[in-house]
Amino acid sequence: MRYVGDEVALVAAETPEAAQKALKMIRVEYEMLPAVLDPEKSMTGETLIHAVEDLYVPVLAPGYDPAHNQISCFQVDIGDVDAELAASDVVHTAVYETQAQAHAMMETLRSYTYLAPDGRLTVVATTQAPYHMRRQVARSLGLPISKVRVIKMRVGGGFGGKKVTITDPLAGLVTLKTGRPAILVLDRKENFSTTTTRHAMKMRVTLGASRDGVLKAIKIDNVSNTGAYGEEGPPVTMVVANNILPSYNRANAIWYRGRTIYTNRVSGAALRGYGATQGGFALEAAISELAERLKMDPYTIRIKNMARLGDVGGILHSEIKSCALARCMEMGRQQIGWDQKYPRVRVSQDHVRAVGVALTTHRTSIPVADKATVTLRLEPDGSYLLLTGAADLGTGSDTVLTQIAAEALSTVPERICIRSGDTDYGTYDSGAFASSTTYVAGNAVLSAAKKLRPMICQLGATMLACPAEDVEFDGGRVFIRNDPEKFVTIEQIGTKAEHGGTEQIITSATFVSGLAPLTFMSGFAEIDLDLRTGKVELLKFVSVADCGRVINPTLARVQAEGGILMGIGLALFEEVHYGENGKLQTDSFMQYKIPCREDLPADCIEVSFAESEEPSGPYGAKSIGEASVHTVAPAIANALFNAAGIHMRQLPFTPEKILKAIQEESPDLCQQ
């Protein structure tokens, strides 16, 4: 047993009451071993979490070293970082720590399984990656993939937590053993203690700059706590570099090392931001502190060094072909009232108000790995059936894909019937993660619609007895260009295609992500700090996003608001505690606090858009879901410094930590 939460036994029963009674009758004898919760202690190798060398095959994990509990070591080395630091006028070094964070979705993990009449295992689950789950269930139960069907139901939030496969093989095993349907639902305590979390990280950041604030070198040494199992530890550690370092790609030298270490804690895995949230906090907090050393406005140093349209080389995988980051920064500056409020306003003897700033980048999708195929079919009534494996988990992707199809086919969304999330009836989609669905599945939908239009025109022309090049399609009819009164309706074409002895109008298209364009965002925080207690109230958080062309402003806005709220929880509320034996103590919403409506003013979060046109995106679109988390914690950290001159380098910023920092770093502030 590698952590308190590892599976020990599986009980199948007719009723929950019988299952609970059976569980109480099971007795397990344990040999107690010391729990290793700190990754730096774990690296000594005194206690091995996984002693078997071949337990994990490091296909994408260079640096695998089980003797030191190291699952991977990823490194980036661009330019001569030591030489650039030596030549810098100012060098800033500090250590930043981020905590584990629970997904805290309202609907816990659960699965329902049964055998279909043909003997195939059907898994009805709350998943955000049906094909990923099908592969894992088949492998874990020793079944061919063709013998497993996964159906994604409506999902009550996922945030990465429903990308993993936990309950599904267990319920499936019961069904295979008994031949009967089975359901497994995790209660809240189980969901906290037996699933996954955001990776806790500790990063040593060193920055070098000239006196005028030009960034010369970035050096980050990161230790990531992956918990008891690898899950997605190696790619999360890689993403820290690949997603946040492009923000300041103009630096002459960039060095990053990320080590992923096993411990006896709940496993780390995918959670909104996927490592970039942690890395973004460390880098942006360090940038603000470098500005302090240079006696510069933290806004100004970012404007001087941030990524721009047309940037190439360095850590960038391709040229930046869409970037409105300068507008994001300027709009946010105006909306927060930076010039009037920076750095602070003393509102009373005990209260100070201050503002803080941060920016971020995040890649849209995973190059090569992210893939989507869709099928589009014209129906007899002139509507369209759209089949996709994309998983809508409350993000509104079904709506967005419908809008893209409707736009490309010159019709209204009501004429598109979308069916998604079923591995039998949908088409392949790698899953709803990596900020990919609108970009990857959207491009596939756009391609399929473009292929369908000439098929509609061809059949319409045949019905009109004229060449296809002489007709046009306006969404409702195909008509002769020089004689618009001669036409056939889309309903007539759809009926002819299905019943008229002609080929059905149906097509498929596949899109594989290649460029992974960057999304850009700015974040501005305004806080009220009580100097007596250390309590901080977030008065306003302004975020401006360049997510390309905004296809659905309402959905994009609520996506960003949700991400910001999760960032607020990470920054101020959410704290994980373990006992000495490794048992998670914060395993309910009584102990583990997440922000709710009563914690924030009604108009606290303000989201707006600085649109750009991404050439590779569907109608110019990029992502927004993950980038929205990244700027919150560093912007609040910068605001706390501006308010009280304190350096907050360890999340979360609880009143106890803030008050202690004030007493140590600014003891005279309360006397002013």
Dump pLDDT digits (tens) for 200-240: 999 999 999 999 999 999 999 999 999 999 878 999 999 99
Confidence band of 435 (pLDDT split at 50, 70, 90)? confident
pLDDT at 59 over 70: no
Quote the pLDDT of residue 55: 55
Which of 489, 512, 535 is the last residue before a domain boundary?
Answer: 512
Does 540 share its domain with 636?
yes
Among the listed residues 323, 395, 311, the one whose alpha carbon sits nearest the alpha carbon of residue 359: 323
Give the bridge partners for 540, in sequence order. 526
Does some domain include residue 220? no
Quote the pLDDT of residue 53: 59
Confidence band of 366 (pLDDT split at 50, 70, 90)? confident
Does 560 share its domain with 630?
yes
pLDDT tens-digit map of 629-662: 999 999 999 999 999 999 999 999 999 999 999 9
The average pLDDT across 553-575 equals 96
**pLDDT more than 90, % of the chain:** 86
Question: Residue 389 is which amino acid?
Answer: G
Does 578 share its domain with 432?
no
Does 433 share its domain with 487?
yes
Confidence band of 379 (pLDDT split at 50, 70, 90)? very high
pLDDT at 58 over 70: no
Range of the domain at 186: 16-31+104-194
Which residue's entry shows tokens 């108009």? 603
Does some domain include residue 420? yes
Quote the pLDDT of residue 502: 86
The average pLDDT across 266-275 equals 95
With contact defined as beta carbons under 8 Å apart, do 258 and 238 qualify?
yes
**pLDDT more than 70, % of the chain:** 98
Cα-to-chain-centroid distance, residue 56:
25
Does 630 share its domain with 551?
yes
With contact defined as beta carbons under 8 Å apart, do 261 and 69 qualify?
yes
Does 397 share its domain with 546?
no
Which of 194, 210, 225 is the last residue before a domain boundary?
Answer: 194
pLDDT at 672 over 80: no
Phi, psi of 332 (to 5 degrees): -65, -40
Quote the pLDDT of residue 164: 87
Cα 234 to Cα 369: distance, rounded to the nearest angstrom: 15
The average pLDDT across 14-32 equals 94
Does 169 share its domain with 27?
yes
Cα 528 to Cα 355: distance, rounded to the nearest angstrom: 9
Quote the pLDDT of residue 50: 87
The average pLDDT across 28-49 equals 93
Quote the pLDDT of residue 500: 78
182-185 and 110-115: which strand pairing?
A: antiparallel
Rg, the chain, Cα only: 27
The average pLDDT across 270-290 equals 97
Give me the number of domains the chain comprises.
Answer: 3
Give the bridge partners for 518, in sequence order. 363
Does 419 share its domain with 433?
yes
The average pLDDT across 89-115 equals 97
pLDDT at 258 over 90: yes
pLDDT at 60 over 70: no
Where is pLDDT greater, at 613 or 671? 613
With contact defined as beta carbons under 8 Å apart, do 635 and 525 qualify?
yes
Does some domain include residue 82? no
**Average pLDDT over all residues of the chain:** 94
Quote the pLDDT of residue 157: 86
Confidence band of 154 (pLDDT split at 50, 70, 90)? confident
Cβ neighbours for 361, distance < 8 A, ≥ 6 positions apart: 243, 244, 246, 247, 307, 518, 519, 520, 521, 627
Quote the pLDDT of residue 546: 98
The average pLDDT across 449-471 equals 96
Kindly state the DSSP code that residue 617 receives in the 8-state scheme: S
Give the bridge partners for 483, in sequence order. 480
